[in-house]
Each structure stands twice: as structure tokens, then as C-alpha cells.
Structure 1
């Protein structure tokens, strides 16, 4: 590779365009809003309402046998809210099961033609990253480019690594990764790189800044995450579908989880592979053109996005004000408000991402998601939103409020048991009667209601496994009948043990958000999620305390209450050991060798995953040989490359870090001393500010410094 090729600009020429900020409270003009799924919606919501009505009727019958107390009314209300959630999921799963069974039988009878890129529009593949492992990101890009090259489709796609990284050494390694990609791929594809000076509005601001400066070069945006991996089939079909449908604003794939080695990651992968498709198929059917956006592994019509999705700042301070964190749901609603279709393409297989490797990492991610979803309470009333988009926002809010409601339901049940034990009942009320009114509840009916609730809760799992067992190809891809059933039992038992922990995690996240806590923005761990035992006990201390308290109350009350609470008590008492067990790579490897919780992608690895595994060690080894930080500022090639890859921002505000960095560089006798004095934030500012960077380079190349280096 020639130096001129290596030092070419990070981005194409700026082609500025406006992305107007949307007014959420201002009415919009009338838009065509076709409703292609009225029957599916009527069937799903009607059946869910009927199931809820029956469950509520049974619960009222259980509680009202001897009159209804305020606590029993509270239990009935909490039951109705929480049962509505699982009823809708169950009915949606039934719909998805019927759709997939029909699709499975149809796939056996029909074939598909050769894959070809037919789209006339040009697509920018956006890979936003924030302090991620550059080797993993670069490997994923190269693997996808190689896959597309087999179909001669690379000319339709440009790859843009949009960095918000704030760690200076990681940022320099990103530059090394981009240079390596350009060298290895040559003319196969165009690789671009831009690192922002200020992380305004996090990921949504990262994509918006690209759109304003370079978006006009492209017709479509294929938005990925740092851990995303798409097959050539999915990439090409997404481009073809949005190109063929002029009314399509966004097409969202349903990502499969891959690459996990810890037990909790394998658990999520199996659930995602077996139960996920029927849930996604049901959702895609009743959502129709009012689908949702999950922030990545989706293709967007660039002009529609820029016209409709300029996100405003919410009034007030964090956590409810400021930047819209869960921007994807809102962007889908804004696109639909302007008449664009948002489609969930649940039939596309070959869209992949990774999962958190531990319960602790799940908790960190869910804390951020919790704040973003609760923040939607300030957006859900926006003018012009379709009712289905409002429902998506509501389900996002309720996905986190549901845990406090379940916990409240448990507490009310415990209070009813304590009331029966310690409070003397009123046998004779104010109405004259010869016979006492005994406090009663319908025990047989309560057992039937419990069984109904368990059935409704497990329907997605039962139907997911039923679909696999009814399809010989799917059974074989999951390791056979016996392994599939065994994996399902392991998943159900482990999920039941972990569920109380996650319930408390979500309760804590909701409480923290409501108390004004901000989740911050920390990078996600991708590989090893293990932690020392001391940290695990500290992180799960309150979960254990709650488990002990519930156990003592139940033990003191009755064996029946202890049995009723035993699943929650078991999970909470063993929170720290379960966290360690499920995060262990060694234990996860034991399950993997025995093909327990195996997925089709693990047993028969898709081509793009095989390519990734093959390339990753080589790329990681090459990036590990990068020159040390202090040598960067005296290497003319690295200096030229950095300056070529660094965008020139005009009119950016002068910051305190910039002022301090300037003073420290001016006072330092050599660049090594300057690097020791500069904080991480100050060095980051130096790398992104051309005149500061040149000052540090000049210090490294000064004659005095060179003499000191020779003398040393």
C-alpha cells in the first residue's frame, strides 16, 4: 500500500444538508395512513381482551367468595395489569406460530432464485461505535465485504465507521484498523472513518451528524451496531426491498444472538432462536406498516429519515429531559407520522448480534434502556402519531414498569397471608345475622387460575418448541429431539431462577430513574462478563437481603406461603452464585461441548460467521503490533494518516480541556513528559484539535527533544 493511498481522507467531501428538528406537540398535515392489518389486529387484541376478561373473572371469583377487602381489590387490579401483558404475548405467539407453520410448509415446496443486487440506490452502511474493540469491528466489516464480493454487490455499499470513542489509545487503534481494512480490501469496497469531536446526543446524534454532512451522497442508510453481523443475503435483500417499495421508510430485521460463550449468553441465544421467531412473526403481522425500529440491523430511506426524524431535546433535566435515549422507537413513530411505512422483515434470516455475557452486564444495559423507555412518557402524547406507534411506546414503558408491578403483586399476596395470620377477622358485620361471616377464598378456583397463568406465561416457549419438533429440518439444526427438549428444560429452569433477580434489577432501575438518576453512557462488555466474588456479593447484596426477608416472613407464616414464594426466594438467595455460574466461560463451555442450549448458528455456522472467526485472530494480531502511543508523534506516516482521518470542525466551542492541554504542552520539555501530564480527556481533545495535535508533534520533533532522545 502506498503512503498516498494510506493517507487518503477519512470521509468523502462534505455535502451539507438540513435535518430539521421535529416539533412533537405541533400538529402535522394529513398523511396517507393505510392500515393493511386490521383483521390481524382485531384477532390478536380481541383474543387478548377475551383472555384477560376470563382471567380477571376467575381472579375476582377467587377473592370475592367471602367479600372483598381493600387488599384483595389491590391484588385484583395488579393481577389484571400484569396478566394483560402476558396475555397479549401469548396470543401474539399463537398468531406467530400459525404464520411460521404455514411458512415452514411453503418453504419446503418452493425454491428461490439466484441472489442479485437489483437496487439502483446507493447505500451507506453505518457502524457507530463507542470505545469498542477495533479488531472486532474491523473483522465484522471485512467479513461482510467478503460475503458481498461473492455476489458482485460491493459497488452498491460504502462502509462508514462513525466513532464516538473517547479513549485516546482506542481511537488511534481505530485509525490503525481503518488503514488495515483499506489495505486488505483494496478496491473491493470503500471504507470511511470519522470520529466526532463532541458526543452530542449519543448514538442518535452520531447518525444525525453523518446525515447532515455526508448523507446526501446516499439513498439509503443501513444502520448497524458495533457487534452487528449481516449475511450478504440479508444486506442485498434489504436494499432490494426498500428500493422496490417507494413508500417504505424503514425495514427492520429481527437479529439472532450469536457468539456467546457464557451460560447466560447461551441461554439468551437459545431463547432468541427458538421462541423469538414466533413472537417476531406475530408482531410483524399485526403491526403491519406501523412496525418498530430497534436501532440497528435495519435499512432506512435516507431522505425520509432526514425529513422526519430530527429529534428535539426534551424539556427538563435528565433523566426525563434532554437527549432522547431510546431514539429508535421515536424515529419509527416519526417516520410513520409522515406517511412512511415501517416494516418488520421477520422472514429474513442472517441478521446477527451479540448478547451481554453476564447478569451484571444485563443489568447495566437494562438500566440505560429503562431510562430511555420511561422517558417515552414525555413523547407518547405527540401529535400525529399512529395509535400502533403509541402502543409500541407504551409496551416499552411497561416492559420495565411490569417488574415493580409483579413485585407489588407478591407483596400484596404476602400481606394477605399476614393479615389472615395476625389480624382477628370480623365474624359479625354491622348487618344483623344469626350466622358469622367467615373469611373465605375459593381454593380450587385459585389452583385453576394458577395453572391458567402458568400456561399463558409458557405458551411462547411451548409453541416455540412445538414448531421445532414438528419440523425435521429445525430439529436437526438444533441437535435432535432429545437435545432440543433437554435444552428447553434447562432454559425454563435457569430462566425461572434468574427471573426474580432481573425483577429486582428492573425495580431498582425504575426507582433510580424516578429519583432522578441518570444512567450515563458506558461501553458494553462483549466477551468475558466474570467478576470477583467480592464484587458479585456487593452488586447482589440487596437481592439477597430481599430473598432472606421473604423467606423469613413465609417460614413464619405457613408452609403454603413458603411454597408459593419458593421460586422467587430461591433465585434471590442465590443471586450472587447464580450470577457467577451464568457468567462463567468455563461452565458455558461445558454446556457448549454437550450441545445443550445449542442453536442452528452454532451447530451449522453460517458463512459470514465462519469468515469472521477465520479473520479475527489475524486482524487482532496485526492491531496488537501497533506502535506505542509515545512513538506516534514522531512517526511521519502515522502523523499524516491521523491528520487525513481527522475531520476539520469549524466554529467548535473552546473547552477547559483544550485550554489545559495547551498549557501543559507549552510547559513540557518533551512530548513524553507532556503525555504524562495530559489527562485522558485532554489527550482526547489534543487528537481531535489540529493545532494542539501539531503542537505535540512539534514538541516530539524539536531538535532539543531529538538530542535528549539520542543522549538517553
Structure 2
């Protein structure tokens, strides 16, 4: 039990007020919380120093090949498209005198258009590969030789969801006959004391259901140092030596046995592979916003992922989950350093996955994707505000990469992955700046008296002018380039019979694409402002924190929505009025942006409504094949999650549960790590306060009402305090004793 030997009290030595035994304590305690430790080192890597001579060579000579043709098309084609766009933009502004504001506008256009030109070129490669070169989905491997740890880091998640999902995966793998090659680990960083006990209760139920089918382990960290990256590192350094591979999941991940086993087989077959990942598809979504994301990921995502996979080759990126990793290589080369300074741009690295991919690639290991493997799923935030909350954390992590991407020894492709991630957030303030500069220039040309004259003699001042028709044409080109990847995805989906039928037929697929494009266009200016605000806050030194993500319900109180978006609505009306004062044609040009901002409150409210999402589902819009014919593993996971929820595993009161059940209390104590010796003078204030309150309390109900969240956590971490809780009588027992 993680180094702890438990001597169970006799069955008859129950504490006052305890319920009768509800679990078979002996059989449960016979299986430790975690297996015997098999530690390996994980040295912290340097971003300033790297000995190129230490980089390993390819074990397979064929892996030296680089996809030069794909890269030439992506980067050469992107550069050519950018050159065309810059020339057109120059002709737009090169009418009359080219002023400072026009130069700024041109520079902003170059920054913005370069990003979408590169994305377009990558989508072209992805589209061509899917049409002409994509291999068939691999068959199920007949055998495996190595052991894989399937690890799921969790943080204050509903136990019914995560334990139901992992049970479905373990059952699916066991049915292949290859279950002995996988062990499953819940790596809990949960800080909610009630959720902590709920996880342990769910673990008991899961182990009972999987008896003989799979080995499932559980570890809870009392301090979630370095968050998810630290959680994984703790597992690797303590138990990683026993597992050649580890497959990393997120709390919302779901993978079929076909996908899990094929990833393990791919790692075994490729001695140069460091990280191999899949393309996760979004499933189980019902709110309007989540269904929009689900549809877009299913129809447009494969083209984007294929393009990225083709040009990256074996110099790919890592998205942090639904991927298999060579454990020893990860330990040797992916120990993350802390960045100098304080958060948000200093401290531990938030978006660790990009950095881990760059570090393991720097050491000579391959990182790549299997984009047609399938059977890999995840979920998405249920509303616009939920996405914004998650996006704020991702924004901070990606902006930290500005300080990382120049590290010594990184592959050029890794630096490009960093640049793409950074630009994904800097694009919003750059687009906003371009819009504002454009509006100022139009306003200047319409209303403001010029204060400059040409150097040549002239009777009239040089008014700022534009080629309006060319500007309109360039806007159309920009929108076409921006939307082209969606068109490619639609064409691929129309050509695949199962995808077409599962999405409501050709007409339903086309109409759904139109709905997704219209809604995305309306939501884009809201996200532009939100992301611009996030970038500014981070650059001004405001840290994000790390709150658990909401998974299901997208409904948010209307008052909160109004407060979140009222500034967006005001800006939308100001832009509308200013546009009409300047030029009605300017309003027409900016109508999607203006409409999105003015409608920000109802759009945000609608985004989280299940009723709207389910209505669209009933009429056949935004459907995906996985929704029309749900994967068996998703059906099974949902059934298990409902069963656990109905059984009350999400509603555990930690103190009450330990007080009521001696068996659960002994289980919890057995799963606690051995108490580390405390330094003299080191006082845990929460534990001290909890001890004092328990000493004063006359009933367990009184203690529960007095203990705050941190004090409850301190109780659950201390065997002596748990014993004090157990010895408190309930209010009913105290009343009965008084009556006697």
C-alpha cells in the first residue's frame, strides 16, 4: 500500500455510529493502491546547452528521409501566396501618398496573412494525401511483447465519468486477449477532499467489476506540484522503470482497444519512435457550442491533421494526450526546467506537451502521428465562456513558448510548431489592430483635414486614398483562403460514404457546414476580443491559475454572461455607428464582426444551451457519424458512468463517508503514503486548526460544519485525525445516549 502496512482492527471493533461493512476489506487490501516502485531518473533539461554529439542516430536508416516535397509545397506555396497577398495589399494602399499608418496596415496584413497562407498550404497537402495516398486503417495486431502503462491524470473530475470510461477501455482491451500487456493508473491531483474519497470509493467498485480482466491502480498526490506535467513526472520517476511504454490519457479521453493496441504495436515495431499519437475526435456533445466544435473537428479536422502529419514527418508535435510514449526516452530527455521569473511568463511550463516533443526530438527520437488510425476520442468545453476559460490557460502556456522556442539544439520543425502555437493567440490582437488601423485610415480620408503636403509643388494636399475595389477583392481572397480548409474537409466527407450517410447525407452535410461557418463567423470577433484581452493580461503579468474544466452543462447564469460580454456589445454598437458615419460600405464589409459583437450576449447564452443543440440534432444538422452510430465503447462508457452516478459515487461527503464506514476508512488509510518526517518548526496550520476543531466538536456533524475545505484535506492526510473523526459520535447516537 505504497509503503504502508495496515493492521485491520477486528470486525467487531467498530467505532460508535458506524454502518455495517459494505466492502470486502480483505480482498480489497490484498491489492495495493500502486505496484512496487521501479524508479528511474528524470534529469532536468537545459534550454541553453546541448551537446549535438549526444543526439542518438536513427536505428532504421529509412527514417533519415525527410518529407522535402511536402515541406516545399507547404512553406514554398505559403510564401508564394503571401507574396501575392502582399502585392495586392500594396496596390490597395499605393494610391497617393503612402503614410505611416498605411505602412503599419501593410505590416499587420503581412503578419496575419502569412499565418492563414501557411495553414491553407498545409490543408492542400492534407487534402491531397487523404485523397490519393492515405493508407487503410491498420488491422488489429495479433500479439504484443512489451508492457504499457495507461495513465490518466485527474484533477477534481466527476468519478462516474472517468472510472466509467477507463472500465470501458479496459474491458475492450481484455476482449482482444492482449489485456495482460496493459496496466491502468489513475494519477490523482484532486484537491477537493470529498472528491478524493469519492475516487477511492469508485476505485473499489471498478476493481470489483474488472476482477480478473485488468489491473487498475490509484495514486493521490497531496501536493499537485507542477500540475499535470509534475503528475506524469512523479509516475515516471517512481514506477516508470517497469513499463517500456506509457499511454497518456486526459480525463475526457476514450480510446478503443483497436487504437490502444495499435499504438503499442507501432511503438514496439519502431525502435526510433519516442512519441506516437492519434487524431482525437470529439464525441458526446449536446450543447450548441460543443456540437459546433464536434462537427468541425470531425469534418474539417482530418484535413488539417493530415497536412500537419505529412509535412512534419518524424519531426512532429505532441498534444498532451491520447498518445503513446517511450518511457525511458521521456525520462532521459523530458525533465522540464522552470523558467526564470514569476508567472505568467516564468515559473513552471504550462503547455508542457510542445516542449516535451521538442526535447525528445532534440535527443534523436521521432515524434509523429497516425492520422487514420481512428478510435480516439475526447470531449470539448460546453459553452463559449467555458472555452474562453480554458483558452486563457492555453494562451499563457503558448506565450511562455516565446522564451522556449530558441532553445539550443531544437529541430527547425519544433520551432515552427512553437511559432504556430504562439501565432494562434497573437493573431487575435494583430487582427484587431489591423481592423482598427483600417478604420482610422478610412475615417482620416473621409473627415480629417490632412496636415501634410507632397514634396512636389501642388495646389492641393495629398489626401489618403485607397483602391476600394482592389481592397474588396483582397478581402474576398482572404476569406476564401481562410475558409478553404473547411471546403476541403467537406469534399472529403462527401466522398466517403459512411461519413456522408452518418452526417445526414450530402444535403445535411452541406447545410451543417453552412451553419458551422455562419456561427463560427459570428463567434470569431467575440473570441478575437477575449483572446486579445488574455494576451494583454498575460503580458501585464496576470497569472491564469488552474481550475478544473466543466464537462457537461453549458448553462451559465444570464447575469454572468451579461457581465462577461457587455463590453463586447458596447464596442459593437460603437463600431456600427462609426461605420455609418464614415461609409455604409464599411458597415457592409464589417457586418460579420459587428453582428457578432452586438449579439455577443444572446450568442454566448445560446452556445451553452443543450436544448438548442438537441433541436439541431433532431432536424439532422451538425450530425457526425459517431453520433448517428455511436462507437460501442462510447455507449458502454456512458452506461457505466450513469450507473456510477446513480449509485452516488459523485456525491460523497468525505468526512461522513469515512465516519460511517470502517472499511472505507481503513482503505483510505492504507492508500495514504508513509508519513514523511517533518522538519522542526514546520507547522501545518490547517492540520493544527483541524485538530483543535475536532477536539472541541461533540458530534461528527458539528465537526463537519466547522471544518473548511483545506482543513478537511488535512484530516484526510493524517491517520491520527482520521481516527479522531471515527471516534466522534453522530448526533443521533449522542441524543440517544442522553435520553438513556
Residue 667, structure 1, aligned to residue 689, structure 2? no
Are the equivalent residues in 2 in contact too, given 1:324–1:372 (CA < 8 A)?
yes
Among 24, 29, 37, which residue is 1:2 paired with?
A: 24
State the alpha-carbon separation in 1 of the partners of residues 463 and 232 from structure 2: 65
State the alpha-carbon separation in 1 of the partners of residues 272 and 587 from structure 2: 57
1:57 is matched with which residue? Answer: 87
State the alpha-carbon separation in 2 of the partners of residues 268 and 377 from structure 1: 28
State the alpha-carbon separation in 2 of the partners of residues 611 and 197 from structure 1: 32
Among 313, 336, 353, which residue is 2:361 paired with?
A: 336
TM-aligned CA deviation for residue 630 of structure 1: 2.0
Are the equivalent residues in 2 in contact too, given 1:373–1:397 (CA < 8 A)?
yes
2:44 is matched with which residue? Answer: 21
Alignment of 1:268-417 (within 5 A): 268-417=293-442
Structure 2 residue runs of 5 or longer lacking an equivalent are: 1-22, 59-63
Are the equivalent residues in 2 in contact too, given 1:686–1:693 (CA < 8 A)?
yes
1:192 is matched with which residue? Answer: 217
TM-aligned CA deviation for residue 535 of structure 1: 1.2
TM-aligned CA deviation for residue 694 of structure 1: 3.1
Could you tell which deviates more after superposition, 346-355 or 209-218? Answer: 209-218
Pick closer, same or farther for the CA change 1:112–1:82 going to 2, 3 Å.
closer
Could you tell which deviates more after superposition, 528-537 or 670-679? Answer: 670-679
SS of corresponding position for 2:246: strand
Are the equivalent residues in 2 in contact too, given 1:670–1:705 (CA < 8 A)?
no
Could you tell which deviates more after superposition, 648-657 or 605-614? Answer: 648-657
Residue 540, structure 1, aligned to residue 565, structure 2? yes
Alignment of 1:33-182 (within 5 A): 34=64, 36-103=66-133, 107=136, 113=139, 115-116=140-141, 118-182=143-207
- Cα distance per residue 1:382-419 (max 9 Å; x no partner): 11111111111111111111000000001001101110
TM-aligned CA deviation for residue 357 of structure 1: 0.4
State the alpha-carbon separation in 1 of the partners of residues 329 and 197 from structure 2: 34
State the alpha-carbon separation in 1 of the partners of residues 540 and 620 from structure 2: 44
TM-aligned CA deviation for residue 210 of structure 1: 1.0
1:694 is matched with which residue? Answer: 723
TM-aligned CA deviation for residue 707 of structure 1: 5.6
TM-aligned CA deviation for residue 512 of structure 1: 1.1
State the alpha-carbon separation in 2 of the partners of residues 297 and 112 from structure 1: 17
- Cα distance per residue 1:42-86 (max 9 Å; x no partner): 221000000000100110011112131111111100001000111
2:588 is matched with which residue? Answer: 563
Are the equivalent residues in 1 in contact too, given 2:289–2:607 (CA < 8 A)?
yes
Structure 1 residue runs of 5 or longer lacking an equivalent are: none
SS of corresponding position for 1:194: strand
Are the equivalent residues in 2 in contact too, given 1:266–1:588 (CA < 8 A)?
yes
Residue 604, structure 1, aligned to residue 629, structure 2? yes
State the alpha-carbon separation in 2 of the partners of residues 220 and 310 from structure 1: 17
When the two structures are superposed, what TM-score results if normalisation uses the length of structure 2? 0.92
TM-aligned CA deviation for residue 136 of structure 1: 0.3
Could you tell which deviates more after superposition, 560-569 or 323-332? Answer: 560-569
Pick closer, same or farther for the CA change 1:402–1:626 going to 2, 3 Å.
closer
Among 219, 239, 243, which residue is 1:218 paired with?
A: 243
State the alpha-carbon separation in 2 of the partners of residues 607 and 427 from structure 1: 71
State the alpha-carbon separation in 2 of the partners of residues 136 and 327 from structure 1: 25
Residue 682, structure 1, aligned to residue 682, structure 2? no
State the alpha-carbon separation in 2 of the partners of residues 586 and 611 from structure 1: 24
2:662 is matched with which residue? Answer: 636
- Cα distance per residue 1:403-458 (max 9 Å; x no partner): 00000001001101110122224795231257875643223322221221111011
Q: Which structure's relative contact order is higher, taking Cα pairs within 8 Å and 6+ residues apart? A: 2
SS of corresponding position for 1:536: helix
Are the equivalent residues in 2 in contact too, given 1:117–1:236 (CA < 8 A)?
no
Could you tell which deviates more after superposition, 176-185 or 142-151? Answer: 142-151
Could you tell which deviates more after superposition, 603-612 or 135-144? Answer: 603-612
Residue 657, structure 1, aligned to residue 680, structure 2? no
State the alpha-carbon separation in 2 of the partners of residues 338 and 36 from structure 1: 17
When the two structures are superposed, what TM-score results if normalisation uses the length of structure 1? 0.95
Are the equivalent residues in 1 in contact too, given 2:127–2:489 (CA < 8 A)?
yes
State the alpha-carbon separation in 2 of the partners of residues 626 and 592 from structure 1: 31
TM-aligned CA deviation for residue 677 of structure 1: 1.9
1:594 is matched with which residue? Answer: 619
SS of corresponding position for 2:218: strand
2:16 is matched with which residue? Answer: none
Among 608, 624, 631, which residue is 1:583 paired with?
A: 608
- Cα distance per residue 1:619-655 (max 9 Å; x no partner): 2222349775425224221111111222225346753
Pick closer, same or farther for the CA change 1:543–1:174 going to 2, 3 Å.
same
CA RMSD of aligned residues (A): 2.1
State the alpha-carbon separation in 1 of the partners of residues 738 and 41 from structure 2: 56
SS of corresponding position for 2:648: helix
